[in-house]
Chains A and B, each alone.
Chain A
Amino acid sequence: MHFKKLLAVSFAALTAASPALAENVLRWTSQGDALTMDPHSQNEGPTIAMNGQIYESLVTRDADLKLQPELAESWQAGADGWTFTLRKGVKFHDGADFTAEDVVFSFERAKHEASDYKEQAKNVVSVEVIDDYTVKLVTDGPNPILPNQLTSIYMMDKGWSEANNVTTPQDFKAKEETYAVRNANGTGPFSLVSRAPDELTVLARNAAWWGEGQFPGNIDRIEYRPITNAATRVAALLSGEVDFVLDPPLQDLKRIEGADGLGVKTVAQIRSIFFGMDQGVDKLRSSDVDGNPFKDARVREAFNLAIDKAAIQRVVMEGLSFPTGMITPPGVLGNTPELDASYGFDAAKAKALLAEAGYPNGFSVQLDCPNNRYNNDEKICQAAVAMLAKIGVNVKLDAIPKAQHFPKIQKRESDFYMLGWGVPTLDSHYVFSYLLASNGSWNATGYANPRVDEITQAITTEIDIEKRTAMIDEAWQLVKAEMPYVPIHHQVLAWGISNKVDIPISADDAFRPRFAVMK
C-alpha cells in the first residue's frame, strides 16, 4: 500500500517535472525573491516586479518606462481628480470580471493602515464609481502626475479577497500568514502556478489575458529560482541552467560576454549615488573642529571639486557608471544635460576654497557608508577618502551593512554619508519631497531653502506642464549652486541573458516578460 502510494507520488513528480516540449520555458534568477505575493504588503523592487507579472495597475510602464494604458484604456485630468476609463472584458485569473468595484476596493486596500503603499496611494483621496467601467480618482486639488504615482498600485478582485479573508494587507502584529502571501489572483499576462518562497516560483501564461496577441512576448512558462550567492548565480547562467540573470556582479560581465551563447545588456539605471553633508547641526559629531564646516558653501564646493568622479568611474566602476552633477538621472523629469554635467575635478581649487573658509589644514569627519547596498559602495567610499585626504580632510570611513547604515540617516546621526536614490514616479517631485525639502524624510543634510520647499509644494498642484517644468528647473538650479550633496554617478544596470531569448532591459531593473521573446 505504502509502496504503491510512493510510486504514484514519484510518477506524478516525474511527469510534473517535464513540461511539454513545444512550450517556451524561461528560467531566470536573481538574488532576492519577492517577499510576498500580496501586492500591497511590501513596497520593494523585486516584489513589485514579480507581482507586476501577475497583477496589473491602471497605468503601467513599458520597457522604456513610458506610461502605457493597462487596466485603464484612457484617463483625463480634472481640477479635483482624474477620470479613468477601464478596459472592458478583463477577467481575473479565477474568471471573475474586473470592474469599477474592484478599483474602489483595491485603492481602499492600498490605503489601509497596514499597507506599504499608503504613501503612494494617499494622493487618491477617494474613488468615485461613475459606471461599471469609469472611475474618478478624487485628489486633494489638481494633481498633474497622478498617473505616474499609480504604476505599482495593483488591482485585486474584491470577491476573491473577501472569500479568502484578505481584504486588508497583513499587519505587523499578525500571528498567522494570510492567504494572499502565497496565492495570487490578478488580471496579468501570467498566473501563479506554484510558489515556494526562496526556492521556486512558477508562472504560466494566461491565455485569457486582454493583451494576448498585442505584445511580442511568447513565453509560456516562467520558472524563477532565486540564488543568493553571486558566483553561483553566474555559474547557473554559464552552465545553461537559467536563461537570464537579473543581477550578475559587475566583475563577471566580461566572463559572461565571452561565453558562447550568452550576452550582457546594460542601461543607465534610475538610481543616483551621492554623498550627503549635514549642514544643519551646529557642531559636527565626528569632527575635531568646533562648529560645522559644512555650513560654509565653500567647504561643500571643495568636497565636490576634490572628488574625482571620472577616476571613480574608470578605476572603481570599470566604466560602468555615469558621473554626474545632480542627484537624479536622465529619464526623470527635471534632469537636463547642463545640470547633469559633473562639477569637475580640481584639487588645487578645492584646497584653496577650504583655506578661504578657514580650514587651511582641513578637518576630520566620519563618512558613513553601506557595504551591501549599491554597486561597489564601499570601494567608492574608500576612493573618496583617499581623494579628500589630498586636500587635507581626514575622513574616517565606517562601512557597515545597510540594515545599520540607513537607520543612521533616518535618525539624523550622520555628518557625512552615502545614499542612493531611485525614482519610481520618474518625476523630480519624488526627489525634492524626500531629499531636498527641509522636512524630507531622507533629507539628513539639514538643507533648507524656502524657495525649494515652496516649489516642492507648488509642483504637486501645477497642471500647466511648461510652468511646472520651469519651476522644477529653478529648484534644481538652486540645488546645483548650493550643493547640499556631492553627486557621484548614476548606476549602470547589467543583465546577463542567453542568446536563446530576447529581453529588453529596463532602467528600473524590472523584468517585463510580456516583451520577452524566445527564439
Chain B
Amino acid sequence: MLFFILKRLAQSVLVMAVVSAVSFSLFNFVGDPVNNMVGQDATREQRIEIRQQLGLDDPILTQYSRFIGNMVQGDFGLSYRIKRPVDELIFERLPATLELVFVSAIIALVVGIGLGIYTGIRRHAWASRAVLSVSLIGVSLPTFIIGIALIYIFAVHLRWLPSSGRSGTVDLGGWKTSLLSIDGWRAIILPAITLSLFQLTLILRLVRAEMLEVMQTDFIKFARARGLSERAIHFRHALRNTLVPVITIIGLNIGGLIAFSVITETVFQWPGTGLMFIQAVDFVDVPIMAAYLVFVALLFVIINLVVDILYFVVDPRIRLGN
C-alpha cells in the first residue's frame, strides 16, 4: 500500500514537471508581453531593456529553471498585467471558481440522477423521450452559446436574474462567498446551470443506461418475486448498484468542471481563476499563465491520486495483482 502510494507520488511529480515544462515552452508562441506592458510611445531601446530585465531573451531552459527555483521558494512572481503577486491573485479568485464548480456539480448530480432514474424506469413515457432529446442539446451545444442564450432569456427578457458578475458576496475571513446571500445565489444560478449542463447530460445518460441494465439482472427479478414494492426495488436495490460507476465519473470530472469553467466564467464575467487565465493569455501575462497551468496540473494529479488510492482500497483485485 505504502509502496503503491509512493510510486504514484513519484509519477505525479514527473507529470507536474512535464506539464510545466511543456506549457513553458508554449509561452514563446503566445507573443511578446512587453508590447502590452509599455505605451506605444516607448522606444525600441526601452522595450529591449525590459525584455532583458524580465529575462525573456534567455533560453527556455534558463527561464524554466528560474521559474521552478522561484516556485519552490514559494515565489510565483508578479502579474505583468496588474502588478500583483500571482499566488495572492489565484487564492483571491479560487473561492469564486470552487463555489461555481460546487453548485454546478450539485445541480448535475441531483438533476442528472433524478432524471436518469425516471427515464430508466419509465423509458416509454413521452416525458422520458422529451428529456432525452433535450439532453442532446446539453452535449452538442457549446457552453458559450448556452450561456448567452440563458442570459438573453433570464436577464434581458424576463429580467429575473443578473446577466453577469458575482454580486452579494460575503467575506468570511478571506473567503468571499456568494452562497450566503440572496443576491449571491441569484448571480450564481445561470453560470452554474451553464457549467453543469454537460456533466448533467452525461450523468443522466449514464444512470439511465445502468438502470436499464440493472433492471434486467437476476437479483431484481428475485426482488420482484419476493414481492417487494416497486419503490424499494428501484431505489434500494437498482439505484445503489448504478451509483458505483457514476461516482467514479464524477470524481474524474470535477477537474474537468474546473477546466471548463474558463469559458463559463468568461461569458458570465465570473471573477474566478478561469477568467483570470483568459485575460492572462490575452495579455501574455506569463507569470499567471505558468502558475495557473501548474495549479491545474496539480489539481488533476491530486484527484487522480485520490481515485487511484480509492480503487486500491475498494477493489481487491488491484491489491492482489500488485
Measuring CB to CB, which residues of chain A are less than 8 angstroms from any residue of chain B?
6, 9-10, 13-14, 17, 35-36, 38, 41-44, 116-120, 170-178, 181-182, 196-200, 225-229, 231-232, 235-236, 238-241, 372, 401-404, 406-407, 410, 421-422, 430, 434, 441-442
- Chain B positions 16-34 with a Cβ under 8 Å from a chain A Cβ: 29-34
Known A-B contacts A228-B266, A241-B163; the reply to A17 vs B148 at CB < 8 A is no
Enumerate chain A residues within 8 angstroms of B167, measured Cβ to Cβ: 17
CB pairs A–B below 8 angstroms (8 shown): A41-B83, A116-B39, A174-B78, A225-B165, A227-B164, A229-B267, A403-B30, A407-B31
Check A10–B269 contact: CB distance below 8 A: no
Given that A17-B183, A407-B32 are known contacts, is A172 also in contact with B37, CB under 8 Å in the complex? yes
> How far, in whole Å, are A196 and B84 apart by their CA atoms in the complex?
12
Question: Residue B32 contacts which of A42, A198, A406, A422 (CB distance < 8 angstroms)?
Answer: A406
User: Which chain A residue has the least Cβ–Cβ distance from B164?
Assistant: A232
Tell me the minimal C-beta distance from B129 to chain A in angstroms: 33
Is the pair B181, A10 in contact by a Cβ cutoff of 8 Å?
A: yes
Contact of A9 (CB < 8 Å), options: B39, B84, B170: B170
Interface centre among B30, B36, B82, B275 (most CB of A within 10 A): B82
* Nearest-CB residue, chain A, relative to B93: A198
CA distance in complex: A174, B75 (Å): 12
Cβ-defined contact, A232 with B279, below 8 A: no
- Residue of B32, B43, B47, B170 with most chain A CB atoms under a 10 A cut-off: B32
- CA of A225 to CA of B279 in the docked complex: distance in angstroms? 15
Complex: A10 Cα to B170 Cα, angstroms: 6
The one of B33, B151, B170 that contacts A403, using a Cβ cutoff of 8 Å: B33
Which of A118, A172, A228, A239 is in CB contact (< 8 Å) with B53?
Answer: A172
Contacts of A36 in B (CB 8 A): 82-83
The yes or no answer to B81 lying at the interface (CB within 8 A) is yes
Indicate whether A239 sits within 8 Å of B156 (C-beta atoms), given known contacts A173-B53, A197-B84, A403-B283: yes
A441/B44 in contact, CB under 8 A: yes
Cβ contact within 8 Å between B31 and A404: yes
A441 touches B84 (CB 8 A): no
A10: which B residues are within 8 A, CB to CB? 170, 180-181
How long is the Cα–Cα vector from A225 to B168 in the complex, in angstroms?
A: 14
Additional A-B contact list (9), CB under 8 Å, known A173-B53, A239-B162, A441-B44: A6-B180, A9-B171, A9-B172, A43-B42, A171-B53, A199-B271, A227-B165, A229-B269, A235-B151
Complex: chain B residue closest to A422, CB-CB: B40
Q: Mark B71-95, 1 if CB is under 8 A from A, else 0.
A: 0000101100111110010000000
Sort chain B's interface into a size bin. Answer: 35 or more
The residue on A at minimum CB distance from B30 is A403
A44–B283 Cα distance when bound, in Å, is: 13
**Interface: B223 (CB within 8 A):** no
> Would you give the shortest CB distance from B49 to chain A, in whole angstroms?
9
**Inter-subunit contact B35/A403 (CB<8 Å):** yes
Say if the beta carbon of B208 comes within 8 Å of chain A: no
Contact status B30-A116, CB under 8 Å: no
Task: Judge if B252 is at the interface, Cβ distance under 8 Å.
Answer: no
**Cβ B30 vs Cβ A17 within 8 A:** no
CB distance from B298 to the nearest CB of A (A): 23
Residues on A with C-beta less than 8 A from B283 are: 403
Residues of B within 8 A of A372 (CB): 282
Q: Are A403 and B39 in contact (CB under 8 A)?
A: no
The verdict on A404 contacting B30 (CB below 8 Å), with A9-B172, A197-B84, A231-B148 known, is yes
Cα distance, A406 to B156, chains bound together (Å): 38
* Given contacts A17-B168, A232-B164, A442 and B38 within 8 Å (CB-CB): no
Beyond A225-B269, A236-B163, whether A434 also contacts B279 by CB under 8 A is no
Query: With A and B bound together, what is the CA distance between A367 and B248 in angstroms?
Result: 51
- In the complex, residue of chain A having the shortest beta-carbon distance to the beta carbon of B80: A172
CB distance from A314 to the nearest CB of B (A): 29
